[in-house]
């Protein structure tokens, strides 16, 4: 039996381990509950720790539990996906062994433009792209052909599909 903490972003920062384990037992379908359920089924000692706006409660729970491994399921911090690297940084600074990418890997992977430039430097083919800064009028470079996929530089792609249609980004009033 190994002591494993499952850490994840939550909408319930006031919940304790027992509250999350009720969700695990009720077979609620969320990745963190699935991970906890699988680890418990294998006989591991599992602590479920939700992360929201404050790190102190997370660190207190981890310090009290003393896990051999932290399963890092955090995809954001304080509601921002661009801060995904923050928890990995804190876990690393406190000497915890954790799953997932390093803080540097998460930062690089989050920046789509930088990632594509690194891949291209190593002669790995990537689709053509253009980068536009906030407030800058986007002008489609001639090497980019329609249809285009528009993504925010430092956020998840789902953000764009709900808030900013690509045809407005490209200066057109309609799709087609």
> Structural domain of residue 155, as residue ranges?
111-169
The span from the CA of 173 to the CA of 176, in Å, is 10
Q: Are residues 29 and 77 in the same domain?
A: yes
Q: Is residue 90 part of a domain?
A: yes
Q: Are residues 17 and 43 in the same domain?
A: yes
Q: Is residue 14 part of a domain?
A: yes
- Band of residue 79 on the pLDDT scale cut at 50, 70, 90: confident
Tell me the CATH number at 37: 3.40.50
Largest CA distance in the chain: 60
Q: Is residue 52 part of a domain?
A: yes
Q: Are residues 99 and 134 in the same domain?
A: no
Q: Is residue 176 part of a domain?
A: no
Residue given tokens 């699988």 in the structure block: 38
Q: Is residue 175 part of a domain?
A: no
The span from the CA of 80 to the CA of 90, in Å, is 16
- Band of residue 173 on the pLDDT scale cut at 50, 70, 90: very low
Q: Which of 60, 87, 107 is the last residue of a domain?
A: 107
Q: Is residue 133 part of a domain?
A: yes
Q: Are residues 125 and 87 in the same domain?
A: no
Q: Which of 88, 103, 99, 34 is nearest to 58 (CA)?
A: 88
Per-residue pLDDT for 82 more than 90?
no
Q: Are residues 85 and 132 in the same domain?
A: no
Q: Is residue 78 part of a domain?
A: yes
Q: Are residues 71 and 32 in the same domain?
A: yes
Q: Which of 107, 122, 152 is the last residue of a domain?
A: 107
The span from the CA of 96 to the CA of 75, in Å, is 18
Q: Are residues 135 and 94 in the same domain?
A: no
Give the model confidence (pLDDT) of 105-145 as tens digits. Answer: 998 888 888 888 999 999 999 888 888 877 888 777 878 77
Q: Are residues 134 and 164 in the same domain?
A: yes
Sheet holding 45-51, edge to edge: 45-51, 3-9, 69-72
Q: Are residues 148 and 73 in the same domain?
A: no
pTM: 0.76
Structural domains in the chain (count): 2
Q: Are residues 18 and 99 in the same domain?
A: yes
Q: Is residue 174 part of a domain?
A: no
């Amino acid at each position: 039996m190994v002591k494993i903490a499952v850490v994840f972003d939550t909408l319930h920062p006031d919940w304790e381990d027992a509250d999350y384990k009720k969700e695990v037992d009720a077979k609620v379908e969320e990745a963190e509950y699935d991970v906890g359920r699988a680890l418990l089924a294998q006989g591991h000692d599992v602590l479920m720790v939700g992360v929201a706006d404050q790190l102190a409660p997370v660190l207190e729970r981890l310090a009290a539990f003393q896990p051999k491994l932290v399963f890092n399921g955090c995809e954001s911090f304080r509601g921002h996906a661009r801060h995904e690297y923050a928890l990995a940084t804190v876990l690393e600074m406190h000497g915890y062994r954790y799953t997932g990418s390093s803080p540097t890997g998460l930062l690089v992977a989050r920046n789509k433009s930088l990632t594509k430039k690194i891949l291209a430097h190593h002669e790995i083919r990537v689709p053509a792209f253009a980068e536009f800064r906030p407030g800058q009028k986007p002008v489609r470079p001639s090497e980019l052909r329609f249809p285009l996929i528009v993504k925010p530089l430092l956020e998840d792609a789902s953000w764009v599909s709900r808030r900013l249609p690509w045809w407005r980004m490209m200066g057109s009033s309609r799709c087609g």
